[in-house]
Each structure stands twice: as structure tokens, then as C-alpha cells.
Amino acid sequence: MPKPLNIRDIVTAFGQLLTVVLLACSMTTLARAGVSSENVILVVNGDSEDSRTVANHYAQLRQIPSVNVVVLRDIPEGLFCSLTEFKDKILKPLLAEVDQRKLSRQTQVIAYSVGFPTTVKIPEHTALLTDPMLKKYQRPRGSITGLTYLYRFVMSDNPSYLGLVSNFYARGSFERDFMNPFLKEEDRKKFDVSEKTWKDENYERSAKQFAELSRLFPAHAPFSIRAAQSFAREGDLDSAAKSLLQAVTAGWQSAKFIRQDEALAKLLTRSDVSKAMESLSELPNVSQFPFGANSSTPWSPAGWPTADTNSGINYLPSCMLGVVHEHASTVDQVIQVLDRASKVDETFPQGTFVFSKTRNVRSTTRFPLFGSGVLLLKSLQQDAQIVASQQPKPGMTCVGVMFGSANIPVATRSWKFAEGAIAENLTSYSAAFKTASQTKITEFLHVGAVMSCGPVDEPYTLPTKFPTPMLYGYYAMGATAIESFYLSLQSPYQTLIVGDPLAAPFLVAPSDVVEINDSDMSDRFVVSCRPSAIGVAEQRAKALEYYVDGRLMQIAPPKYSVAVDLRGAPAGYIEARVTLVGQSALAPRRSIQRWVTIGDPPHIPTIDVEDSIATLRCDGAQTIELFHHVESLGTIQGDQGTITLDRATLGSGPLRLRAVATVDGKPVQGRPVAQ
């Protein structure tokens, strides 16, 4: 088995990476963590009817904003493409389009429809490896989703992602919170000095050192925890309490750690500390606590978000909605999976999380963490079992299954998946669709799972290339499916993730009551927000995000009433959308939408569709243009005319058509219609 890259090698390589300016690096830290439909970029192969059909359905099922639908053309056909083709025909155009549409700060997930290569050939990158063991075990094929997630490396031709610890967002052991979080050598040395002082029990000095680190890097909560421990051991309880409260503000989540630390426990009688403890988790410290996905924020080697772009790496979670192939799915099967998955949010399914234990190396590789996974799930009041068999026991209803066998006859199973279940299997070719060998990840989707993952090439049973058992605990804590997979996957470059990224059956969304209303003034709308009569304080939103026609316009704390000013926006219909962002580190989200009119236009364009003929009307218009999402389908001259809809080009399923008229030289937007 290859050794992981030495941390100094990783730091050197990442330091070089940070000097590269990428097209997508305009993503700002204003974006909040967490994932909802406004954060998903839906990527479509414009030359594939299947791709358009699946995208049409998913956009409707999940209410993906039209501006988030990106159509690419000239996509390589088949399961494979070269690295150059991936970068030049998929990744670069995609990132450029996101940037051009000003969607960078809201983008958290890239969801590819069907019709894209699943596998990217990367011999140019594996040839750059110098470690002989990595050269032997890291195959020159990556997945489209893994390489999109690792876009920072791929775009700079930096092979560091081929190490075994390239995903800093993935959770590790709880002790990782206190490892050196820096990439720059100067900062690393500063931390090492402080940590040595702490271990030498020179608490007076370590308190000052960690307090200074906390001041310089306030987002890294473990610095404040170490400062609090040091101050408390020196008897300075006021300074200890101040540091502890700073840690909570920065995102520290573990109440048990504080209670079990002899020095910090002295602070629990203080009213300010006692109040802060109410917001912390009593879950066992079997792993680092999860955070919601945030592509705008760099992640440090210690697994913490950082505001310092020189101290971390950005990632871009990615998945495929399905794979259409003789060894994968049909278009109808993909749509059925997505339709089923769209209904599972906040359903809290009953069932068992199952971990298959056999003597097969595919099972024994991950067995050492089964116990921690079960402990976390049971602490969440979930049923979890380790079964000494290839499959769950007959009659079981499973919310999640961790398999470990090459071939699993799921079609003849005597158990079933609960609605919203996830599953995956440690085996070599579960996402290598060129061969029929081994059970494919799509088979789990066909029989009830909403997301699965697997390698596109031989992974050599290296455990970091597969999710840890914590995958299921993070899902049960309320993370979306896609967050759960990336939170538990340390080396995702070969891993293809397929399914609905937004599935979140254990989501606890903010409970505030939000209404979107018209205003007395024609150039604005009004948003009101109030606590739910049956909600609890912990379920109140910490922020509201305001979107206009799918674009993030403003982020602000909840207020009873806010008037959103739209002066300068086109007259006619606009989609007003408000997303509530929850208080927990997973940032659970809920969105409210309403179509409102602005500008008091005398006439608004309309669309009538019959037998694939769209009739457009708007009195007084000089022209009327028809769009499907943001893709122009044609323009008529005058105030009435028709455009033929080519379903072979646009795909089957619901189209989202919108007419935009030009009246007296100014645009007037109609309300979209689904056809």
C-alpha cells in the first residue's frame, strides 16, 4: 500500500498551487455554507437529447433557477475523454459561464446531466508523480465529478490531488482539529512553537501564543480552545471564558470536549459559558464535526474553513444526475430516481443503517471504523447494525448500506431501501461502465437509493478512495447527500458520485415564516420574516439570502420586514426567492419563491403552446424573444408571431419557456410557463 504524501510535500505543492490565478477564483467569502437549489449549477450537453431530457425534469423537480442551467456543446462522446478535452470543452467553459453570469458566490454544486464522459484520462498528471508507490497505485484515470471537485489542481496541472489526503473538507479523527492547519512554512513554524509550548506545560506562555494565533486567525476555533485551556490551567478564568466564547463563535461544536477537559469544566458555572453550551452538540467525539459545503471558502489541512486564501484549498462539489449506458441506466430509470429523490427531504425515514462485515478485503478495509460509525448513529437515535453477511438481513428496511463485495444480487434482495436511502460499495469497477463486471452503483439507485458512488478505475482497496462509515452519520445529522459523500471521502479523484445532490431526508430546515409580497412602489417587493409559533430558537434562521431571477442579490440577518429595491431591473415578471439559512454548522436551508411584477408595464408578453408551436403576443412590442431557461430559441418581429419548438433538440419533459418583449426600446419580461 502506498504511503500518504509527506505533509511537507503537500504544503510545498499546495503553496505552488495558491499562486495560480484561475477563472473561477472570483468566488467570494460572502456566500453562505450549505446547499439548496439556488446553489446547484445544472450542466447540460446541448447536443444530447437524453441530457436535455434529464435536465428538463431535474430543473422542474428541484426548481433550479433558469440562470443556473448551463448548456455546453461539442462534448466528447462516450465514457472517456482526454484531460485536454475535459479542461477545454467542459471545465473551462463551465467555469467561464458561471463567472460571466455572476453566479460564483452562490455556486456550491456542479450537477452534470447525463451525456457526459464519466472518466477522464490523466496520464499527463500521473507522469508528474515522483513517489514510486504513488506512481504504482494511482491510476491515470479520474472521474468527471472527482476532477471537477478538485478543479483548483486540475486547472493548474498540479498533481498533488493524486495524494491520499487531497480533500481537506473531508472529516478526519477528532484529534485532527488540533493539528497544524497551515500551508505556509512561516505560519507552520509559528504553530509548531506554540504547540511545543503547550505540550511542555508552559501554560502561561502557550496562552499568549494561542491567543495571538486566535487574533490573527479568528475563524480557526481550535486556536481559541487551546488558549482557553492554557488560561484555565493558569487560573485566569476570565481570559479562559473569553477565549472559549470566541471558539464557539468561530464554529466549535463539541460540548463533550469542554465537559471532559478538567480545566475547561471549571468555566461551566459561569452564566455566559453555560448559555453558550446550550448551542453545542453532545454527540461523541468519534470524528470531526461536519460543516456545510462552501466552495467560496478555503479549507485548511486541519479540516477547518479559513478566511486566509494562503492557508487552504477551495473545492467544488460535483456529481452526475445519472449515467445512460447499457451497463448503467436508461433515461427513464434516471428520471425515476430523481423524481423519487425529490420527495424525500425532511421525511425522517425509519429504518436501519447497515454495515456489511465479511472476510472479504472489500469489507475488512473499512471495518476498523465501523464501531465509530455505529456509535455516532446510535447517538443520533438511529438504528445501526453491523451484519456478518454480504447483504442486510431479510426483512430489513435500510436507510443506508455500506457494502463490501464485488457482486451483490440486489435485484433479488429480501430487504428494501427506505425512501431517501444512500448506499455504496467498496469494489474496483462499480463505476467503470465499459465492463459489465461487478455490481454497478446505478443498481443501488434502481432499487431505491438516491445517491451512490464508486471508482472509475482500479482503486487498489485504498481506504481513502472510499467514504468512511461516518458518511451515514453526517447524512443522519441533516447534511445533503452530496455533502455527506464529500465529508467522508479523503481522496475523490477516481470516485464518480451519481444521484440527486439535494436529497436530505434528515434536514431540519429553519422554521421561520417568510412571506413575499408586492409593494406599493412598483420597483420593489417586500419580504416579511417572523418566528414560527411552533418552532424553537435553535431552528430560527441566522441569515436570509435574497435572489432575483435566480441571482443572489443580498445576504442579511432576518428582519421583520425588508423592502427589496429593484430599480434598474427589467419591467414585467421577476422571480423573487428568499432562502433561509439555519444556525448549525451544516447551514440547513429552505427556500420560498414567488413571481412578482415590477415597473407597471402596460402589456406583458404571453406564450401559448399547441402541438409544439409557441404563439407569442405582447401589444405594442417591436420584438419578442423566446427563451428556454436562458437559451434563446428565436425572435419574432412585431407584437405577435409563432416559433416552432424542436423537441428533438430541446429534449422531452417539461420546458421552462419565457418570452421577453422589447417595448419602446426596453425589455419587458413575461412569466415562464412549463410545457
Digit-coded pLDDT (tens) for 411-436 = 999 999 999 999 999 999 999 999 99
Helix (H, G, I), strand (E, B) or coil at 490: coil
Is residue 24 scored above 70 in pLDDT?
A: no
For range 360-376, the mean pLDDT: 96
**Looking at residue 486, what is its pLDDT?**
98
Q: Are residues 449 and 526 in the same domain?
A: no
Beta pairing class for 513-518 and 524-530: antiparallel
Same domain, 353 and 464: yes
**CATH number of the domain encompassing residue 197:** 1.25.40.10
Q: Are residues 409 and 518 in the same domain?
A: no
438 occurs within a structural domain: yes
| Tens digits of residue pLDDT in 536-545 | 878 999 999 9
**Angle of CA points 512, 513, 516, to nearest 5°:** 130
Are 355 and 479 in the same domain? yes
Q: What is the pLDDT of residues 171-230, one digit of tens each?
A: 999 999 999 999 999 999 999 999 999 999 999 999 999 999 999 999 999 999 999 999
Same domain? For 525 and 438 the reply is no
Q: Rounded to an integer, what distance in angstroms lies between the CA atom of residue 427 and that of residue 442?
A: 14
**What does the block give as the cell for 64?**
433550479
Question: Both 341 and 490 in a single domain?
Answer: yes
Among 541, 571, 598, the domain boundary falls at 598
Average model confidence (pLDDT) across the chain:
93
C-alpha cell at 450: 438516491
Helices 7-17 and 185-199, interaxial angle, to 10°? Answer: 140
Query: Alpha carbon 365 to chain centroid distance?
Result: 26
Joined together, the cell numbers standing for residue 29 give 467569502
In a domain, 293, yes or no: no
Structural domain contains residue 646: yes
Query: Distance between CA 23 and CA 29 in Å, rounded?
Result: 16
> Given this model, what pLDDT does residue 393 score?
96
Residues 349-374 have a mean pLDDT of 96
pLDDT score at 1: 37
Same structural domain for residues 614 and 559? Answer: no
DSSP H or E segment with residue 191: helix 185-199
- Beta-carbon count within 10 A of 349 CB: 16
Give the integer Cα–Cα distance in Å for 17 and 395. 51
User: What distance, in Å, lies between the first and last C-alpha atoms of the chain?
Assistant: 54
pLDDT band of residue 19 (cuts 50, 70, 90) is very low
Q: What angle do CA 285, 288, 292 make, to 5 degrees?
A: 130
Q: Averaged over 500-511, what is the pLDDT?
A: 97
- Same domain assignment for residues 483 and 611: no
Across the range 609-638, mean pLDDT stands at: 97
Confidence of residue 316 (pLDDT cuts 50, 70, 90): very high
Confidence at residue 60, expressed as pLDDT on a 0 to 100 scale: 98
Please, which pLDDT band fits residue 307 given cuts at 50, 70 and 90? confident
pLDDT at 21 over 50: no
Q: What is the pTM of this model?
A: 0.95
Residue 197 confidence (pLDDT): 97
What value does the mean pLDDT take over residues 226-240? 97
Domains identified in the chain, total number: 4
Residue 106 phi/psi, 5-degree rounding, is: -105, -5
Closest of 45, 113, 502, 38 to residue 334, by C-alpha: 113
The answer, yes or no, to whether residue 5 has pLDDT greater than 80, is no
Shared domain check, 524 and 404 = no
Segment 136-151 shows an average pLDDT of 97
Domain-located, residue 526: yes
Domain end point (choices 544, 566, 598)? 598
Indicate whether 306 belongs to any domain.
no
- Using CB atoms within 10 A of its CB, is residue 616 exposed (0-12), middle (13-18) or buried (19+)? buried
Q: How confident is the model at residue 322 (pLDDT cuts 50, 70, 90)?
A: very high
Task: From 229, 260, 277, give the residue that closes a domain.
Answer: 277
Q: Is residue 286 part of a domain?
A: no
The predicted pLDDT at position 388 comes to 96
User: Residues 6 or more apart from 340 whose CB is under 8 A from it?
Assistant: 419, 448, 450
Give the pLDDT confidence score for residue 6 in this predicted structure: 38
**What span, in angstroms and rounded, lies between the C-alpha atoms of 201 and 199?**
5
Over pLDDT 70: what percentage of the chain?
Answer: 95
Q: Tell me what the mean pLDDT of segment 563-580 comes to.
A: 94
Do 240 and 189 lie in one domain? The reply is yes
**Same domain membership, residue 145 and residue 42:** yes
Partners of residue 383 on adjacent β-strands:
352
Residue 504 lies in a domain: no
Is residue 284 domain-resident?
no
**pLDDT score for 32:** 62
Spatial separation of the C-alpha atoms in residues 32 and 292, rounded to whole Å: 9
- Residues forming a β-bridge with 457: none
pLDDT band at 535 (very low <50, low <70, confident <90, very high): confident
Cα 371 to the center of its chain, rounded Å: 26
CATH of residue 594: 2.60.40.10
Residue in this structure with the C-alpha cell 447540460, named with its chain if needed: 44
Same domain, 52 and 75: yes
In which domain, by residue range, is 630 found? 606-674
Residues forming a β-bridge with 397:
416
Dist CA 532 CA 235 (whole Å)? 43
